[in-house]
Amino acid sequence: MINLETPKKFNQLVSQAHQVAAEILRPNSRKYDTAEHEYPKELDMLAAAIDGLNEGGALSGAGAGAVGTNGSSQSIKKDEGGNRNGSNMASLLGLIEMCWGDVGLLLAMPRQGLGQAAIAAVANEEQLARFGGKWAAMAITEPEAGSDSAAIRTTAVLDEATGEYVLNGEKIFVTSGDRADLIVVWATLDRKQGRAAIKSFVVERDNPGLKLDRLEHKLGIRASDTANFVLTDCRVPKESLLGDPEIAPKGGFSGVMQTFDNTRPLVAGMAIGVARACLEDTRDHLQSAGIEIDYNLPPYLQSAAAAEFIAMEADWEAARLLTLQAAWMADNKKPNSLQASMAKAKAGRMGTEIALRCVALCGATGLGEGELMEKWARDAKILDLFEGTQQIQLLIIARQLLGKTSAELK
Ligand SMILES: Cc1cc2nc3c(=O)[nH]c(=O)nc-3n(C[C@H](O)[C@H](O)[C@H](O)COP(=O)(O)OP(=O)(O)OC[C@H]3O[C@@H](n4cnc5c(N)ncnc54)[C@H](O)[C@@H]3O)c2cc1C
């Protein structure tokens, strides 16, 4: 039987994450939205507390709901009946709460980040020990390669004499790129061999060959730094290539892409969190304006505002259930590329639409800087864009449903 309750073992995690969101993230939201590029020092203490909880096992390797899943399959515990709710579900539930607080600050949380998900997906034991627990950003996107990540031009050439790879190229839009300890850089060993030759390399942030070009000024999530880099003869030990250095015609690149099956439900979760914040505030505003939301009445017997609110809640719930399904499948080792993209597409669009409709329903209050609604509407947009845009998710879904390859359906 399907059980749609939050697994009991995660209740404590969810309530802790909610408390952090309410007491630390929300009170600092406007401050770091206004002071873009300023380091949110309030997060240091919080990150240390999360590390402590993780080490003590209190969070079951959940990364306290921040960005990475930390990839730990050992943390997956088996429930009765063979049903697993592990680190993917825990991260998702925590994230939803934290993003109810503030998406930008969540993304700025020290030692979390998508780079760790990439490391966990392909690193060997020695690399896991060397890089695990560090703050790692992920650098795939380039000026000429965004949605089509197989088109990257950054090169990696092995210098046999020194046993180092030499990286050259440009990386843009790297979340936490300025603040992280490590940057996981995607580069090609041989452009002629296409996607099979793309590998990821761990570059220390203080490597002299990795030069910060600029930090972006953004529409939303301003508490999170977004960095652009130039790599010029950037040397890394050959042991910094993650996974297998051989160029295998099949499997290598798709293995790296599978990282997204774990991370896309998490980005969907961010949209669910921020949309819930919008809905809760809107409900309060409607109620204080004397508008009653009656779930027992059909839409045509309600005020237009109440009917719209109920429709938005239904849309939110559909996105939430799709996302829970995708995370559950990841925990249960079921192939979930289709569901991960469905969740990301649905939640990304839902988050943007609900945030804007709530702004409109709340009128001047929704737009004013006296409250956070206008900020949430700006923050929501990126969630329909990074980790694959809306259009790219729809393309992936279409390929899966029609049984087409990426070469057959572009
Ligand atoms: C704030 C922020 C943070 C980011 N963080 C990271 C990060 O940490 N690491 C990282 O590597 N990248 C990051 N990115 C990059 C992000 O993932 C890319 O911006 C995204 O993949 C889109 O790439 P693009 O901007 O080059 O757009 P393009 O790929 O040029 O796309 C432009 C438009 O065309 C559409 N489009 C493209 N191809 C198709 C197609 N085949 N069919 C239909 N429509 C299509 C897209 O959906 C989009 O609407 C970040 C971006 C931002 C803005």
Model pLDDT, residue 1: 63
- Answer whether 218 contacts ligand 1 (Cβ < 6 A): yes
Q: How many CA atoms lie within 13 A of 302 on its CB side?
A: 19
Tell me the CA–centroid distance for residue 81 and ligand 1, in Å. Answer: 41
> By C-alpha distance, which of 44, 206, 210 is closest to 111?
44
CA-nearest of 68, 46, 358, 29 to 222 is 29
- Mean pLDDT within 41-50: 87
Output the CA 382–ligand 1 centroid distance in Å.
Answer: 10
- CA of residue 11 to ligand 1 center, whole Å: 35
* pLDDT tens by residue, 194-219: 889 999 999 999 999 999 999 999 99
Pure H helices in 1-113: 11-20, 26-34, 42-55, 87-101, 103-107
- How is residue 224 annotated by DSSP? S
Q: How many CB atoms lie within 10 A of CB 148?
A: 12
Cβ–ligand 1 distance for 389 under 6 Å, the answer yes
Ligand 1: which residue has its CA nearest to atom 13? 173
For residue 386, the CA-to-ligand 1 centroid distance in Å is: 6
Nearest atom in ligand 1 to the alpha carbon of residue 186 is 11
Cα 390 to ligand 1 centre (Å): 10
Does 175 sit in the ligand 1 pocket, CB within 6 Å? Answer: yes
Catalytic-residue membership of 387:
yes
Residue of higher predicted confidence among 249 and 21? 21
Distance (Å, whole) CA 177 – CA 182: 8
78 pLDDT band, cuts 50/70/90, is very low
What pTM was estimated for this model as a whole?
Answer: 0.93
Name the residue with the closest Cα to ligand 1, atom 43.
Answer: 391
Our answer on whether the CB atom of 186 is closer than 6 Å to any ligand 1 atom is no
Q: What integer pLDDT is reported at residue 60 of this predicted model?
A: 38
Cβ–ligand 1 contact at 396 (below 6 Å):
no
Q: Which residues contact 325 (CB under 8 A, 6 or more apart)?
A: 339, 343
235-268 confidence digits (pLDDT tens): 999 999 998 899 887 766 766 777 889 899 999 9
Q: Whose CA is nearest to atom 23 of ligand 1?
A: 146
Q: What is the mean pLDDT of residues 132-146?
A: 95
Q: Which of 142, 164, 308, 387 is catalytic?
A: 387
Pocket test for ligand 1, best of 224, 389, 409 (most atoms within 8 A of CB): 389
Q: Is 391 in the pocket of ligand 1 (CB under 6 A)?
A: yes
User: In this predicted model, what pLDDT tens digit does every residue of 267-285 receive, in sequence order?
Assistant: 999 999 999 999 999 999 9
Ligand 1 atom closest to residue 114's alpha carbon, by position in its atom list = 8
